[in-house]
């Protein structure tokens, strides 16, 4: 039976390192039966995937879904282009955001919500090298503070 809870299947953790996520939104994705079975088995990779809007429709490129082992002739190409399901207003807003300088659309995670495969999309701006260095320095400082606090409690 389907549960009301959300189960995350795959995440693109590199997105948080390479981009500043301004806003996120949820989209459905069109898959065939064997692809859904592979997604249920968590055989999804979002590493180099990206999103493009063409002719008023959103498409996802380079998302790898491994072929289902028992799918034989029904398996599709693992790297095929997949259409995303969004409302027209959302697509128009995304087009406006992407036309701004430096903004792009990146997939963040794939998850199940009420038995349907959903994908979380981020409207992102690329980080500069100094931004990445600042994030690493903040993370290291936070880790050092936690370490010192833990030592002081002993």
- Please provide residue 10's backbone torsions phi and psi, each rounded to the nearest 5 degrees: -150, 145
* Three-state secondary-structure class, residue 101: coil
Give how far Cα 52 sits from Cα of 73, 88, 104, 105, 139, Å: 29, 15, 9, 7, 32
- State how far the Cα of 120 lies from the Cα of 108, in Å rounded to an integer: 5
Q: How many degrees, rounded to 5, is the angle at CA 100 between CA 99 and CA 102? A: 110
Is-above-0.85 flag for pTM?
no
- The domain spans of the chain are 6-127
pLDDT in tens, 71-109: 676 677 777 888 999 999 999 998 988 888 778 899 999
What's the CATH class of domain 6-127?
mainly beta
């Amino acid at each position: 039976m389907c549960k009301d809870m959300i189960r995350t299947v795959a995440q693109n953790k590199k997105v948080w390192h390479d981009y500043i996520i301004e806003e996120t939104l949820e989209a459905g994705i069109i898959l065939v039966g064997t692809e859904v079975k592979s997604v249920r088995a968590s055989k999804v990779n979002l590493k180099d995937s990206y999103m493009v809007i063409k002719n008023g429709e959103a498409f996802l490129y380079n998302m790898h879904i491994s072929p289902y082992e028992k799918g034989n002739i029904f398996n599709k190409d693992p790297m095929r282009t997949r259409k995303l399901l969004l409302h027209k207003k959302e697509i128009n807003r995304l087009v406006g955001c992407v036309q701004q300088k430096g903004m792009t659309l990146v997939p963040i995670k794939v998850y199940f919500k009420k038995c349907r495969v959903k994908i979380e999309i981020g409207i992102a701006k690329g980080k500069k090298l100094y931004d990445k260095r600042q994030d690493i320095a903040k993370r290291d400082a936070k880790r050092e503070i936690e370490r010192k606090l833990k030592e002081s409690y002993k």
